[in-house]
Chains A and B, each alone.
Chain A
């Protein structure tokens, strides 16, 4: 069998060697995506769930005749909060402490873990209930508590199942599509104390079983740890939005409530809150308002709620992200997950390739902003998008995700410009710039490329391209270019016309 043409070309080998060079650290998006694409069951579940959620949201938005105006208003509310963040944070601290809430500041996840662990251990509790929160997962609070001898209990159904199955805390479970009913049944059966062996895989029964288990935990707990959707600077209050209501129940029955929230969760005033609650709900579930909205004003003095309320304000890269305009745009995000369910990339690969608690298009933007672009994984995230813009179309606060990703791509490339040895891609792109800088150079290079391409073609199709270009022909053909490009045809026609 003849070897493919490109293997005989030394320059092609050079190109390929360059392509195999990997920066250090955790794997790139594409490497993990290759694995998750194999999980056809999850792909199917995500596609079905995505279609259902898209339809629900479309119905919800159709009920809001002034949707575009609401989005604009919600975006302005977020912009107002972030533009003067320091001021609003200090207002929040003052207002909260006036009402008896203790406010703590944490620069990074380690400080969050330290503060929360000290607070919980200080109460003497051996158990704590955690509610679903990306910030809690981001900062690794559950594991830190376990290390300090406190049993953490997940309260959201999806998180409970993930925790029981000992899945790494990588993603928003609701959206990760990793647990269908069969797997959920298996997990509950294996790990839930007292689960009957004839447990059916009927979702209603499964939820009931998990709920019995959870309810006891929620009622017994002395310490509840939650995230927050919004922090109101004006009143020092914390707003939580839920579909299951676990956070409200846990926090109401607990003596101590600890809220862990990113500093980006600030809104300036209660008057800004209304439009945000509404656009968030429409975007999260399609409903006019999610079933459970709780605003914690501070410790309860009548004995009907937590006696101690703590708010831990988390920076963890947020102030760094805010320093750039792209960061300020992206941090408007209110974590509704609408962009996940319209993203063609997320639908195929799921949460894991994003390698962070924030998957999907907004995750591809936020993670490199918060963590920097020094690792192979974070540097690959801005490129994990077709830039189709479906995310920007649905975002309730007007984050232009493709623009943020473009900004981050430029940042990644600019950082690599300092490397002593340029990447093959960078050589190719800079050569292309030189070639395209002059129409004669362009026409000459085009003629050469057409000649080579036609040599690679069989029966009008190119089935194998050399080097870096070969990724295209792994599963797609390229047509053989016609001998005469348009510009040559134009010149010929003009000459024939005598013009």
Chain B
């Protein structure tokens, strides 16, 4: 099976450690992963901002770049959701989009396809998980990330109050409605504080940009990490100490 890795633009530029962790993790579990170098963007930013025409052009390009893969894995839940939810609609107008292979978010791939819950990770910290609203299937009740985290040695998983709630990022929303977006994340930081976690992780760097951005401004004592970084950490190769 040819597995392609798709790295979202936010991850590629701001959080390359997420992509490296994803790659290390998949390779450690014995999967061979391709990184088609023509890849740029799935079109999500354009799509959610209302620029559908531009999004469709990028979708057609995405489909073409990954057409040689049987399956695509990405550490971005919202990009996976974009391909799964919007592309079929685009494909009715542009058949080129229909060539896009199946795209799975990392934890989905691990649990559903690779059938692995214990990935052999070691991460001796107290961790909470922020569900990603835009995960391909509803995050409320999505147990996959939690199952993976529970199997990590040394990790103490603590519950996040009001578990299903959004972090307030929402792409363009974070700019167009900056005040509301900040009001939402302010309450989220309170929840994270209440959980007692020292690390908050999520399945999407977009959520983490929001949470870590607010934490950083407030000099909060919590690290924000992508779940791939947690799962990639082992006794031999711990996660970078700095976080984000």
Contact = CB atoms under 8 A, between A and B. Distances in A.
Interface string B206-219: 00011011101100
B112 interface: no
Contact of B39 (A30, A383, A439, A476): A439
Contact of B212 (A414, A446, A479, A489): A479
A475 B217 contact: yes
Interface in A23-75: 29-30, 33-34, 37, 43
Given A344-B165, A349-B180, A479-B216, A472 B174 contact: yes
A491 B244 CA distance: 24
Interface string B127-138: 000000110001
A432 interface: yes
Nearest to B169: A386
Contacts of A438: 40
B137 to A, nearest CB: 10
B97 to A, nearest CB: 15
Given A429-B46, A437-B57, A37 B7 contact: no
Interface stretch (A162-170, A287-295, A404-412): A404-412
Interface in A144-199: none
Contact of A478 (B39, B51, B52, B209): B209
Contacts of A348: 180, 183-184, 187
The range of chain B's interface size is 35 or more
Interface string B103-125: 00000000000000000000000
A386 B133 contact: yes
A449 B178 contact: no
A344 B162 CA distance: 11
Contacts of B184: 344-345, 348, 386
Nearest to B211: A476
A121 interface: no
Given A389-B138, A429-B49, A486 B178 contact: no
A436 B58 contact: yes
Given A437-B58, A479-B244, A384 B177 contact: yes
Nearest to A435: B40
Interface string B166-178: 1011111111111
Given A472-B178, A479-B14, A429 B173 contact: no
Contacts of B171: 387
B196 interface: no
A412 B50 contact: yes
A33 B179 contact: yes
Interface of B is mostly: helix
Contacts of B187: 348
A387 B170 contact: yes
Contact of B177 (A30, A450, A478): A30
Interface in B187-244: 187, 209-210, 212-214, 216-217, 244
A487 interface: yes
B41 interface: yes
Interface in A468-493: 468-469, 471-472, 474-479, 481-482, 484-487, 489-491
A461 B179 CA distance: 21
A485 B210 contact: no
A468 B175 contact: yes
Contact of B180 (A33, A389, A430, A482): A33
Contacts of B174: 471-472
Nearest to B140: A393
A388 interface: yes
Interface residues of A, number: 63
A385 interface: yes
Given A386-B133, A436-B41, A476-B214, A30 B180 contact: yes
Nearest to B213: A476
Contact of B134 (A387, A468, A474): A387
B57 A433 contact: yes
Given A406-B48, A468-B175, A476 B217 contact: yes
Contacts of A382: 50
A205 interface: no
A461 B138 CA distance: 33
Contacts of B37: 439, 487, 490-491
B96 interface: no
A385 B19 contact: no
B14 A383 contact: no
B12 interface: yes
Given A30-B177, A389-B133, A489-B20, A481 B216 contact: no
B240 to A, nearest CB: 11
Contacts of A334: none
B164 interface: yes
A33 B51 CA distance: 25
A442 interface: yes
A478 B13 CA distance: 12
20 contacts: A29-B177, A33-B177, A348-B184, A348-B187, A390-B140, A390-B165, A409-B48, A413-B49, A413-B51, A429-B51, A429-B54, A436-B41, A446-B12, A446-B13, A461-B216, A469-B175, A472-B178, A482-B16, A485-B16, A487-B37
Interface of B: 7, 9, 11-17, 19-20, 35, 37-41, 45-52, 54, 57-58, 61, 86, 133-134, 138, 140, 164-166, 168-185, 187, 209-210, 212-214, 216-217, 244
